[in-house]
Amino acid sequence: MLKDFKKFILRGNVVDLAVAVVIGSAFSGIVNSLVKDMITPLVAAVYKQQQFAAAHFSFRGSQFMYGDFINAVISFLIIAAVVFFLVVQPINHLTSRVKAGKEEAPEPSTRKCPECLSEVPKAATRCAFCTSKLTAKA
């Protein structure tokens, strides 16, 4: 049982996923800091507020923190754009180039009769049209 667990953990996919999660969370922290410390202060300056993340409105005693929500949306959009343009697009481009290089024409299942030039199955020993004897080709 422990051998199977060790085999599972040391598989390439699991290790790659673990690395991706760690790097993704670190990148998320950088983007969140960029949005919180650089982008939303600019937005706050436009709206003449001290801190945009603290922007809110109240309704029946409840506070709705729309500034913090907008920070999260901007962070998500930046992370999604980076992942799309720096990971998804290059991988799609590479896989399409690899597929284009590997595509081969399928082997034909018919051949021409040497007597009447009709299309006959590859494994046929007689032509269905002129009945001439054919050598079987596998």
- Same domain for 98 and 110, yes or no, is no
- Same domain for 95 and 128, yes or no, is no
Q: Note whether residue 3 is domain-resident.
A: no
The chain-wide mean pLDDT, for the chain, equals 81
Number of domains forming the structure of the chain: 2
70 within 8 A of 40, measured Cβ to Cβ: yes
Q: Which structural domain range is residue 116 located in?
A: 106-138
What is the reported pLDDT for 61?
Answer: 87
What is the reported pLDDT for 12?
Answer: 64
Rounded to a whole number, what is the distance in angstroms from the first to the last CA of the chain? 48
Alpha helices in 84-135 (DSSP H): 89-102
What is the reported pLDDT for 20?
Answer: 82
- Same domain for 74 and 123, yes or no, is no
- Same domain for 83 and 115, yes or no, is no
DSSP state of 55: -
* pLDDT tens digits along 88-123: 888 888 888 877 767 666 788 888 988 888 998 888
- Domain of 29, CATH number, reads 1.10.1200.120
What is the reported pLDDT for 103?
Answer: 67
What is the reported pLDDT for 37?
Answer: 82
* Percent above pLDDT 90 for the chain: 1
Q: Which two tokens stand for residue 126?
A: 């007689």
Q: Is pLDDT above 60 for 16? A: yes
Cα Rg of the chain, angstroms: 32
What is the reported pLDDT for 88?
Answer: 81
DSSP state of 63: E
pTM of the model: 0.54
Q: Which residues contact 27 (CB under 8 A, 6 or more apart)?
A: 79, 82
